Structure formats: C-alpha cells, structure tokens
Copies of this chain bind each other. A is one copy, B any other.
Amino acid sequence: MKPRDDAPRANLFLDEMEVGDRFESKGMTLGEADIVGFAREWDPQPFHVDAEAARRSHFGGLIASGFQTMVVAFRLLYQTGFLVDANLGGPGIDELRWIKPVRPGDTLRASAVVTEIVPSRSKPDRGTLRLAVEARNQAGEVVMTATLVVVALRSRGAQPAY
C-alpha cells in the first residue's frame, strides 16, 4: 500500500504514514519589510518594528516576531502537500520554543517528523498525528521547535462521520 520510493509523498492519509516519516519544506526568505510588516499588524514590540529601538535592545537589531516564524514554518509545511484531503484541523501545539532570533534576510525551511499516530477510539475513520516540527535558517541552525497535533482521516475512502 505504501509507496517507498523517492517520489515526494503527497496528500497522505494516516494509514499511509509511519512514525519516523519526515517531510521537508522549501525555503522562504524574510526581508526587513516582511518582518516589520507582520509585526506592525500582529506583534508590535519595539524589537520587531523599530530598527533603532532594536539596535539598542539585547537583540542588537531587528528580529522577526516568533509568531511570524511560527506561521511561516507551518505554512511551508502545509505547502509541501503531505496532508491535504485527510486534514481535519489541529487541536493544538505543544512546547513551542524560539531557539535563535530570525533576522532580515534569513531563509527559513521547515521539517516535520511523525512522532506518534494514535487512532481514535470513538471515531474509527480518524486519528491523531503528532509531528515534531523544526524551522532552520540558511546556516542550518534550528531557530524554532514545536510539536504540532493534527487530527486526520485514516484512509482515502473514509467518509468522515460528522
């Protein structure tokens, strides 16, 4: 059932995944305008929106909002297409940690490794997936880690029992 070749594995269902499966995103570069634009709207702390205040801060210069790092990482993973039709949404995120600052010009990539697959006891068509997510910069340094919890359909033929 499970293709084990080198082709990108897309639009998977829970029964097609195994613990240890790994998904890698493309890269995305965050310019200063991207960082300041996001932060002005969503996280207007001085070290995210004001280059001069950021220089005087302990960060020594502008850094991206951690929320931006987070949404960029999860969007990059979503755009790999590994979970599309099976995806029923996520109950939450555990242990999100911002490890290193993300600065203007940094290119982020995200990876996700399946750490747990738990079939639902009450709804046999679905289960819960835990993914260890990492975002890295262009130097390969980990800038963020998190565990994403997702509910997904087990197989392509499943009719969600809403």
Q: Residues of A at under 8 Å CB distance from B? A: 42-45, 47, 58-59, 66-67, 70-71, 74-75, 78, 87-98, 160, 162
Indicate how many identical chains form the complex: 2
The reply to whether A45 and B95 form a contact with Cβ atoms under 8 Å apart is no
Q: Which residue of B lies closest to A160 (CB)?
A: B58
From DSSP, what is the main secondary structure of chain A's interface residues? mixed
**B74, B92, B160: which contacts A97 (Cβ < 8 A)?**
B92
The reply to whether A87 and B42 form a contact with Cβ atoms under 8 Å apart is no
Q: Assuming A71-B67, A74-B67, A96-B96, is B42 touching A89 (CB within 8 A)? A: no
**B44, B89, B90, B93: which contacts A93 (Cβ < 8 A)?**
B93
Question: Which residues of B lie under 8 Å from residue A66 when comparing CB positions?
Answer: 89-90, 92
The reply to whether B89 and A97 form a contact with Cβ atoms under 8 Å apart is no
Q: Assuming A43-B74, A43-B75, A67-B74, is B93 touching A96 (CB within 8 A)? A: yes
